[in-house]
Chains A and B, each alone.
Chain A
Amino acid sequence: MHTNEISMLINEQIESISTNHNIVKINNLNVYADSHQILKNINLTIPKNKITVLLGPSGCGKTTLLKSMNKLTDLYKELKVTGNIFIEDDDILHTTKNVPSIRQKMGLLGQRPFPLPMSIYKNISYGIKLKGIRDKKLIAFSVEKYLKEVGLWEEVKNRLNQPATSLSIGQQQRLCLARGLAVKPRIILADEPTSALDPISSKIIENLFRSLKEHYTIILVTHVLRQAVRLADHVVFMYNGEVIEQGSPNTLFNTPKTQKLKEYLVDGN
């Protein structure tokens, strides 16, 4: 193992366990799709090492908000984003830093898994290599570490060279989570990650989130009220592109202030 790789690894470990203000702060965020406004003047603060649930009905802008945070909105020419998104004090909408390094701060877990067209092992090593690590032993060590972190190691340790698509959907989703963790993000962006999974796989993912929040900030998009109740440390309720209410789950779910949230809670139950 090269000395610089070791020091890179140590620095990243230190950074990941440090207690600095690892938060997301969003000021006056607006997203337009041509003439239609998808997000309207969003102001948010996401607490570090907590699970923040973005809750709201379909089409309220939750996914767009999530994609704005790692600049995936750049892929869509029709989307125009204004305002500020501070990730660790960096305004990612106006920074001169390159986009890939910004995105590496956030692992993305989609509605359904998208394993890379390669083996189980290479799916994890892909992200590690993107971080500039070339030492084979270190890569192998990291692959095992992240597969263990998502509870997949025992299930796949004898078939690491098999295609990732040979795994079940639930396993694929955990593989994608491990792949995301391998680039050492600060934040995990999860966009309805259990919507395509069976109840058992969903429970595994939920349990993983509970344990992962010790080291990562998790932003979870869901429209399943029960999931929000089970997981949330902080809730942001959105409706029609606006943040209607935000705060602790206890406050929001027990004493909602707005009629929209009250109706949503009644319908959700």
Chain B
Amino acid sequence: MTRVFRRSLMFLIAALPATFALSALTLPSLAVAGELDQVIRDVQPKIVKIHGAGGYKGLEPYQSGFLFSAEGHILTVWSYVLDTDYVTATLDDGRRFDAKLVAADPRLELAVMKIDATELPFFSLAAPAEAEAGARVLAFSNLYGVAVGDEAASVLHGIVGAKTKMNARRGVFQTPYDGPVYVLDAMTNNPGSAGGALVDYRGRLLGMIGKELRHAESNLWLNFAIPTAELGPTAESIRAGTYVRRTADQQQNKPERPLKLELLGLVLVPDVLERTPPFVDAIMAGYPAVAADIRPDDLVLFVNNRLTQSCRAVRDELELVHYADPVKLTLLRDQQLIEVTLRAATAPAAAPLGGKLP
């Protein structure tokens, strides 16, 4: 205990000069001009503990959610936990309700649940607050299902580590969502956390804590939340009954007739390794690559500004380009970056059966 005390003291001592040095800066005025514990007390009643399906093979049968209407609309993540007719929502005061699924959006991986109650405290999704990297935040959730009955959800403190786009690099995180996210400097990536609320130090809702997610390549866990602005319109349209279900079609962006290396006259080195560097092996006479002055031994670094770390990645990126559209290649030649834009001169051969030209 003394050690903890000493450390806290060190914090304060370390922080003091900074505080004085920055006193000249304009600070945002506090909605709650009091203490942080008041902020927390105001948020807690809006957090819901959700129990449903799971309980085997490491799939915990619980998650978190929060109220966004006085009539008992709950926003949470769409997951296996909700995949049953018997989902319960336990409020901060210990009241337990049967929760009915109103609708779910697979792309945002969100679900709206409804309980029969009125005059509940809630977060408004209108005029959402936003935060920048470095902003101090609080994450409310029932991580590890540790809170039961009328126990309050757990609070983690942290900061917004970065505001970025999910899947800024393709295939890195396995989630259909590819919009903006808050990457959090707080350990929210835990069982039961998903669906919890991320708020700023004034208690304003910033977003919903996302599902447990792992970097497909480095195995690094990602702590993140989806901003309110991304969720609000869908959640509100579900509540209003105007929601039209979309499908999470990962292929939706893929053109029916994509660009191929052959159409550009580009031959890469034989793809023999897991990550064969995409060096140009040869150029085919009479093809656009000749006119663009691409040369053997050039290394293809980017296709349309997306990093291509291997021959396979080059092919995958071209799959997303319609054959008639221009494509920008960034090449490395003698330690110089060279950008070229080229377009296929001919259409790909029609599919043998039932192929239709656009």
| A pairs with B | no
Interface residues of B (CB under 8 A from A): none
